[in-house]
Amino acid sequence: MQSLELADLFRAPCKTCGAQLKFSAEKQKLACDHCGNTEDIGFTRNKLQENPLDFKVENRQLPNAPTEEKRIFACQNCGAKTTVNYDVPTLTCAFCGSKNVNPEAQKTRLIEPAGVLPFRLSKEQALQRFKTWVGDSWLAPSDLKAGAALDNLHGMYIPFWTFDAQAHSSWEGDAGFYYYVPVQVRDANGRTVTQQQQRVRWEYRNGRHQAFYDDMLEMASRKLTQQENHVQEASRYDLKEIVDYDPRILLGWEAEVYSIDLNESARKAEEQIQEREQSACASQLGGDTQRNLRVQTELSNQTFKHILLPLWICSYVYNGKLYRFLVNGQTGQIAGERPKSAWKIALLVLAFILLVLFFMYLGKK
Ligand SMILES: [Zn+2]
Ligand SMILES: [Zn+2]
């Protein structure tokens, strides 16, 4: 189904000159690139409550199912009209490069974001973090530190789910304790010698464990699943700074709607809780070794929130190979792959070989 009406973009014109305002990470305000005027956003924290995790929610039909529907958007900067998918929250104009917010995109999903963590790290700061990080490793190629191929750095609000749950586990199992007994054995020459041999004394134990799991984060973007390990490394956020979702915070940035739904993410969060309960119960069981550990975990008071978190994303090609890295848009924590300089590694290998040869020479003398 395609409909090609002209859709409205979100507008926040500068009161002084009329140009589109942007959210500035440094100023934590709306700022005008044109005349330098700034406006306060007045962050609020009223909508950020936890929602009960009710799986019936996901079984209902989406009011506007994830859609391939296209709309025409007119750029607010240059007026050019482009056709894009209706569920894209931020649109970059192909003609002038300006970024626009499509306020309707979030409504194409059943659950709209309750909160957003505003970007704190500007593009310059993110680049600085990258240079320091690459420079950390002396194996990195020198020309990379100069910042080549970094035009591709995108500041993007990524959809996440957070989950809370109370876990109650009961466990039972056998804890094994090592002890040693002297045993008479024959050695290679046929003589009888005494050897200490390890034995295990098993002891049945049981108990209970409980814990509250607060704000377990699950990334909700399918596009980033290839980089899931890096996302985990870079997504240690201070969630206390989250404010109510407001489309103005997206002005000048990129954003996505979720593509991994609540149900799938909730199951992943539950698996993680089960694993953590399993290892907590194992450490209660104790012993030098264990067997037959059975853990029964029940979850209650399960709640969720849908939020947007800031991430700098970059992929670049270096010597014909694709590299990716991520920078946390709040803390500057960085994760990814860094290219290594081939000749520096060759030099290191050569130095090692020379060292080995040197010791071999010493050994012969
Ligand atoms: Zn202005
Ligand atoms: Zn434009």
Question: For residues 297 and 325, what is the distance between their CA atoms, to the nearest angstrom?
Answer: 37
**252 CA from centroid of ligand 1 (Å):** 14
CA of 20 to the centre of ligand 1 (A): 8
320 Cβ contact list (under 8 Å, min separation 6): none
Q: Compute, in angstroms, the gap from residue 21 CA to the centroid of ligand 1.
A: 7
AA identity, residue 351: A
When pLDDT is averaged across residues 252-262 and rounded to a whole number, the result is 92
Q: What are phi and psi of 212, to 5 degrees?
A: -105, 125
pLDDT at 269 over 80: yes
Q: What is the tens place of the pLDDT at every residue in 79-109? A: 888 888 888 899 888 888 888 898 888 888 8
Question: What is this structure's pTM?
Answer: 0.82
Letter for the amino acid at 278? Q
Q: Over the chain, what is the mean pLDDT?
A: 87
CA of 13 to the centre of ligand 1 (A): 8
Q: Of the ligands numbered here, which is closest to the C-alpha atom of 12?
A: 1
The answer to whether residues 96 and 77 touch, using CB atoms and an 8 Å cutoff, is yes
pLDDT score recorded for residue 279: 96
Give the model confidence (pLDDT) of 50-83 as tens digits: 888 875 555 544 444 455 678 888 888 888 888 8
> What pLDDT sits at residue 155?
94
Among the listed ranges 102-111, 120-129, 290-299, which one has the minimum average pLDDT value? 102-111
∠161-167-168 over CA atoms, to 5°? 170
Q: Report whether 334 contacts 133 (CB < 8 A).
A: yes
Ligand nearest to the CA of 79: 2
Q: What is the model's pLDDT at position 22?
A: 94
In this predicted structure, the answer to whether residue 289 has a pLDDT above a threshold of 70 is yes
**pLDDT of amino acid 313:** 92
pLDDT at 43: 94
308 versus 130: the higher-pLDDT residue is: 308
Q: Distance from the CA of 307 to the center of ligand 2, in angstroms?
A: 29
pLDDT tens readout for residues 343-355: 777 888 888 899 9
* CA atoms of 92 and 53, how far apart (whole Å): 35
Ligand nearest to the CA of 20: 1
Percent of the chain with pLDDT over 90: 54
- Please tell me the predicted confidence (pLDDT) of residue 95: 85
Ligand nearest to the CA of 80: 2
The alpha carbon of 71 and the centre of ligand 1 are apart by a number of angstroms equal to 29
Beta bridge partners of 3: none
Instruction: Note the ligand closest to the C-alpha atom of 21.
Output: 1
Q: Which pLDDT score, from 0 to 100, does residue 96 have?
A: 86
* Interval 191-217 mean pLDDT: 95
pLDDT grade, residue 204 (50/70/90)? very high
The pLDDT tens digits of the residues spanning 137-191 come to: 666 666 665 555 567 888 999 999 999 999 999 999 999 999 999 999 898 888 9
Are the CB atoms for 175 and 205 separated by under 8 Å? yes
Confidence of residue 3 (pLDDT cuts 50, 70, 90): low
Higher confidence at residue 292 or residue 95?
A: 292
DSSP state of 168: E
